Amino acid sequence: GAGVSQSPSNKVTEKGKDVELRCDPISGHTALYWYRQSLGQGLEFLIYFQGNSAPDKSGLPSDRFSAERTGGSVSTLTIQRTQQEDSAVYLCASRTGGNTGELFFGEGSRLTVL
């Protein structure tokens, strides 16, 4: 596709439910990142994929959070037993392999936990 695509754009769920957020990166981009954007918190790094492996998952806030990437393309971020503090915009970004390359962001998935 033309850019990074994320779905759903908006998700409202009840506390305790599981949610899945999907990211479809730009074709050919080997590196994929998940960030969380909260008011007053900036952009919080969650996890980074190079191909299908995750060399850095140190930003995942708890074991309720997990992510996978298949076929070097689509990634899914799963949050189990959601809590109200999980409410945020979850951003996905991709880039080609180097450290100086531009990060291309999706529009984000806004999660609201009631």
* Interface positions with another protein (CB under 8 A): 3, 31, 33, 35, 40-43, 45, 48, 50, 55-56, 59, 91, 93, 97-100, 102-108
CB of 101 to another protein, least distance (A): 9
Q: Which among 53, 49, 43 is positioned nearest to 25, based on CA atoms?
A: 49
What is the distance between the alpha carbons of residues 94 and 107, in angstroms, rounded to a whole number?
A: 12
CB of 79 to another protein, least distance (A): 20
Q: Give the residues across from 92 on adjacent strands.
A: 34
Q: Which is nearer to another protein, 42 or 71 (CB)?
A: 42
What is the distance between the alpha carbons of residues 33 and 23, in angstroms, rounded to a whole number?
A: 10
Q: Which is nearer to another protein, 77 or 82 (CB)?
A: 77
Q: Which is nearer to another protein, 11 or 29 (CB)?
A: 29
CB of 105 to another protein, least distance (A): 4
CB of 7 to another protein, least distance (A): 14
Sheet with 5-7, side-by-side order of all strands:
5-7, 19-24, 75-79, 65-69
Q: Which is nearer to another protein, 32 or 82 (CB)?
A: 32
DSSP conformation class of 25: -
Residue position matching structure tokens 């899945």: 20
